[in-house]
Structure 1
Amino acid sequence: MMKNYAGKKMVIFLITLLLLLSFNVKSVSYKKEKVRIALYDSISPSVKLIESSLHYSWNAENGKYEMDVKRIDFKDVMNGSLKNYDVLIIGASGRQYFHALIPKWKEEVKEFIENGGGYIGICGGANIASMGYEKPHTFLDFIINIASLHIVDAYINDDQDEEWQYLWKEGGRANIAIKNEIMEGDIFAGMKKRYITYGGGPGLYKINNAKGLAKYVEEPSDIAPLHYWIWAGKWIPYKTIKTDIKGYYSSVETIYGKGKVVIFGGHPEIPPRINGSVDEFFGLSIYGIPRFVYSWVGGEQMNWSYNWWILRRAVAYVCNLPLPPSNELYVYVNPPSDGKIEAYAENAEKVEFYVDGNLFSIDYNPPFKIKYDMKGEHVIKAVAFDRNGGEAWNERIVNIQ
C-alpha cells in the first residue's frame, strides 16, 4: 500500500510540475509591438526607398517588433497627428523648409520630439534639424535658417554652388559612394568605416552637446568631379565644382527634451555604387529641369539593402527599443511573367507568398517564385525571412485579364 501511495504522489508531482512549466512557457511567449513611423512625404524618389526599407520586423528577447510606416504631409502635422506616431522621419526633401516658415508647423514638430518622440533626418531632414548656416549667403540659406528647428546643436556646411550641385544636377542615377569613418554609437554596430551614398547633403560642425557618430573621410568633388557647362558652339565645361566637407561630421545624435534625434548627411536608404565614375550629359534633372546633369556609372553596385540596417537600427534607437541585427534583408515582387511571379530577395532563408492576404506558397530556394495564372485583380505579397527571424515584405497589385 505504501509503495502504491508513494507512486501516486510521484505521478501527481510530475503532472503538477508539467502544468507549472506549461504556464511558465505561456507567460514568456513573444508579444508583437508596432513601431509607428511617420514618413514626411516628398517628390524625391528616395522617399520610396526609405518606405521600402522600413517594411521590416525583427525579434528580440522580450518580443517581436514590426515597423508600421505611413506617409504624412503638411496637414497631418498641422492637425496634431504626430501624437499618433513613435518617430518622425524627414528625408531628402525641400518642402519642409517652407512648411517650417509656419510657426505652428515648427511648434508641432518640436513639441512631438520634446515630449519623447524620435526624429531621424536625412540630407534635407538633417538640415532642418540643425542650427542652420553660420554664415548664410543665398536666399535659400536664409530660408533654411528661418525654418531650422534648432534641435541639434550643429551648423551645416551645405553651399548652393558646391554641395547642393550634387542634388540639382542629379540625372536619376546618383548613388555616389563616399567613405565614412565611424566614430562611435550602437547604430553602426561597431563598424570602423562604411560607404554611404552622397547626394548633396551637409557636413555638420561646431557640435557641443550633440555626439558625432561618423565623419566624411573623402571629398565628394574628388571622388565624383562635376562641372558647370557653357554653350560656345558646343557644350564645354568652364568651371569645376569644389566641395569642402571632408573631415566634417556626416552623422550626429542628440537628445531634445525627452526625444532622441539622429541625423545623416548622406543617404543610408540609397545603395551606393563603389568605385564608379561620373557621366555628365545634357538631359533632365530628377525635378524635370533641362540642364547638364550627371549619372554615376560603372564600379560595383551594392545590394538594395546594403545600408538599410543602419536606418532600421536608427529607428529602433530613437524609440528606445532593442536594436535589430546589422544584416541585409530585402524582397521585391516582380511583375508576372510566363505564368509565374518571382520575388527578388537579398539574404533570405525563405520567402512566403500571399494572395489577397492568404498564404499561397513557401519557397526555400532562390529564385523565389510561384506559378500564377489567377484572373482578375489580386494583391501579391512576398515576405522574406532571414536566419535571425527578421522579416521584410513587399507587395504588388496584379491584374490579369
Structure 2
Amino acid sequence: MSQKIITIKIAILASEPLGWPSGKHYFPMILNGYSWNSKDKKYIFVTDYIYDRDILKGKLTASKYDVFLIPGGGVGDGEAILKGFTFSYKVRKWKKQIQKFIIDGGGFIGICGGAALFTRLDTGENSRPKSFLEKLYDKSSLDMSVVKHFYNHLAFPLFYPFQYNHPEKIGATGYVFSFSPGETKDGALFHSGGVPVDFKILKDNPIFSDLNSDTLCMRWWGGPGIVIPEKTDRFLKICANYPINDFSTDKKTRIFAWSYRGGFHGLIRSFFVSLSFIKKERLKLKDIFMYIYYLARPWKKSNKIIDLDLSGKPSITIEEYPNKNKGRILLCTSHPEFMVWCDGNINEIEENKQICLGTGFHKWNHVKPFSNDLNNEFTHTWWVVRRFVAWAGKVPDIEMPPIEKGKINDIAKKIIKDNIYWDKTLINQMRNI
C-alpha cells in the first residue's frame, strides 16, 4: 500500500520594515523539508518567504498556502508599529488580504510581536493605551481574534517623554533592546536577550497533550500576555500560561530601568558616530536611523525595576474563525524557535559614559555550560514550532509531528556562528539585538 504524501505550504512574512533584524531565518531551518509519518500518510513542510509587496499584490491566498506565519522582532513588532498608521490605504489593503486568507480557511500563526500585531492591546483594568507605541500596537490589529494582548506599559526606551521620572514604564521593550552578550560558567560568550521561562502547560490540546511534563522552558523576549474574553463566539483554548512567579520581579531575572540623558545633542552626536560606523563596517546608509537609536548616549541607571505583571497570564492560545472554513489562529507570546539555557542570573552593567542600547545595560552571568554541539539548547523547542504549523494547517490531532530534538545541520551551524556565539565585535552584537 503506497503512502499518501501531504504537503503543508507555509508562507513566512519576511518584511522588516524598520530595518530592525528578526529571527525569521530560523523558521525555514526548522520547517522546510521536515517530514514525519503517520499511519499511511507522510506529511512534509514547504516554506516560502512572502513580503508586504506580495500580500498587496494578492499573492497570499488559501489556495496557494495552508499557513501564514508572522515571526516576532523586526518582522512582527516592526509591522505592529507601521500597521498602526491606519489612515494609509496600503495598510488597510494589507490587512484585508490577511483577513481574507483566514476567512477562506487559511491558518495563521503569530509569534511574539506577530501575536501583538494580530490583536488589540489591553493595558489593564480601567486603562487605555496612552503612549504613542501603545496606540500603534492597538491600531495595528487585524480584528480577527477574540483575545487581546496585554502590556501594562509599552514605550520606546530612547524616546519615552517621561523617562526621567518613570523609566520603568517602557515596559517589555526594556528586555528587548538592552542586553550585553551573556557568559557561561566556562567562559563562552553568547547573545542572550530575554529570559528562558518555565511556562505552565495545559494538556487539553493537540500541541501539548502527550508532553511528559507540566512545564516547558521556552525563550521569552519581550512578548505580551494574552487576555481572554468572558464570552466568545468560537472555539478557543489556552495552551500555556506564564508562571505564577513573575520572572520580571524575581531577583535572578529582573532588570532595572535606564533612562536616556543625551537629549537632542546626544542624537546629533549619535548621527555622526553612526555615519562613521556605517562607513567602517560597509553597511547600508538607509539603516542609519537604527544605528542612531542604538548608539545614542549617555544613559543613567535607575533604582526602579521593570515589572511586567505577566504572572499567570495566558501565553499560547488556539482558536478557529467562526465560519464554514474554520481558519485556525494560533498566538504565541514566547519564541520556541530560539535557544534556551539553564541557570544563571541577570546583572546590571556598571554605568559609564560609553554605555548605550547597542552595548547593553544588562548581562546574563553564571549560565550552565552548553552541550558540545549546542543541540540540547538550540533545538529544545523546535518540535513546538512544528506542531504549531501542523495544527494551523489542519493536521488531525492524533497525527501531530513527534516530540523530538532537532538536528544540527549546515544551516544551523551558520546560525550558531553568526547569531548565537558573540565574536566580540559591536556590529555582531547589534545585529543580534
Give the match for residue 246 of structure 2.
Answer: 219
Query: Whole-Å Cα distance in 1 between the matches of residues 22 and 137 of structure 2?
Result: 22
Query: Whole-Å Cα distance in 2 between the matches of residues 230 and 117 of structure 1?
Result: 43
Give the match for residue 142 of structure 2.
Answer: 149
Query: Whole-Å Cα distance in 1 between the matches of residues 131 and 299 of structure 2?
Result: 30
Give the match for residue 44 of structure 1.
Answer: 21
Query: Whole-Å Cα distance in 2 between the matches of residues 230 and 259 of structure 1?
Result: 44
TM alignment of 1:1-400, pairs within 5 A: 28-41=1-14, 42=16, 43-55=20-32, 56-83=34-61, 84-92=64-72, 93-97=76-80, 98-99=82-83, 101=86, 102-133=91-122, 135-158=128-151, 159-160=153-154, 161-171=170-180, 172-174=191-193, 176-183=195-202, 184-191=204-211, 192-207=214-229, 208-209=231-232, 210-217=236-243, 218-221=245-248, 222=250, 223-229=252-258, 236-256=301-321, 257=323, 258-281=326-349, 289-290=357-358, 292-300=360-368, 301=370, 302-321=376-395, 322-333=399-410
Give how far 1:298 is off: 3.4
CA shift in 2, pair 1:31/1:247, >3 Å: same
Give how far 1:190 is off: 3.2
Give how far 1:261 is off: 0.8
Give how far 1:309 is off: 0.4
Query: Whole-Å Cα distance in 2 between the matches of residues 231 and 193 of structure 1?
Result: 38
Structure 1 unaligned segments of length 5 or more: list them.
1-27, 336-340, 345-401
Q: Deviations over 1:111-145 (max 9, x none)?
A: 10111101111111111222323521211111121
| Equivalent residues of 1:282, 1:292 under 8 A apart | no
TM-score by length of 2: 0.65
Counterpart amino acid of 2:402?
Answer: P
CA shift in 2, pair 1:157/1:289, >3 Å: same
Corresponding pairs, count: 308
CA shift in 2, pair 1:334/1:88, >3 Å: closer
Query: Whole-Å Cα distance in 1 between the matches of residues 315 and 253 of structure 2?
Result: 17
| Equivalent residues of 1:132, 1:156 under 8 A apart | yes
Query: Whole-Å Cα distance in 2 between the matches of residues 63 and 140 of structure 1?
Result: 47
Counterpart amino acid of 1:198?
Answer: W
Counterpart amino acid of 2:205?
Answer: G
Between stretches 119-128 and 53-62, larger displacement belongs to: 53-62
CA shift in 2, pair 1:91/1:282, >3 Å: farther
Query: Whole-Å Cα distance in 1 between the matches of residues 260 and 58 of structure 2?
Result: 51
SS of 2:409's partner is: strand
Give how far 1:247 is off: 0.8
| Equivalent residues of 1:282, 1:290 under 8 A apart | no
Query: Whole-Å Cα distance in 2 between the matches of residues 57 and 51 of structure 1?
Result: 13
Q: Deviations over 1:266-309 (max 9, x none)?
A: 111112112221144389xxxx9536433434334542111110
Structure having the higher helix fraction is 2
Structure having the higher strand fraction is 1
| Equivalent residues of 1:91, 1:121 under 8 A apart | yes
| Equivalent residues of 1:280, 1:292 under 8 A apart | no
Counterpart amino acid of 1:298?
Answer: H
| Equivalent residues of 1:282, 1:291 under 8 A apart | no
Counterpart amino acid of 2:8?
Answer: V
Say which structure, 1 or 2, has more relative contact order (CA 8 Å, 6+ apart): 2
Query: Whole-Å Cα distance in 2 between the matches of residues 334 and 253 of structure 1?
Result: 30
TM-score by length of 1: 0.70
SS of 2:108's partner is: strand
| Equivalent residues of 2:10, 2:47 under 8 A apart | yes
CA shift in 2, pair 1:137/1:59, >3 Å: same
Query: Whole-Å Cα distance in 2 between the matches of residues 314 and 278 of structure 1?
Result: 31
| Equivalent residues of 2:122, 2:129 under 8 A apart | yes
| Equivalent residues of 1:177, 1:273 under 8 A apart | yes
| Equivalent residues of 2:194, 2:222 under 8 A apart | no
Counterpart amino acid of 1:248?
Answer: K
Q: Deviations over 1:238-281 (max 9, x none)?
A: 32211110110011111114201111111111121122211443
| Equivalent residues of 1:175, 1:271 under 8 A apart | no
Give how far 1:237 is off: 4.0
Q: Deviations over 1:81-125 (max 9, x none)?
A: 111211011111323222463111001001101111011111111
| Equivalent residues of 1:39, 1:88 under 8 A apart | yes
| Equivalent residues of 2:120, 2:139 under 8 A apart | no
| RMSD, aligned α-carbons | 2.9
Q: Deviations over 1:16-47 (max 9, x none)?
A: xxxxxxxxxxxx31133321111111443421
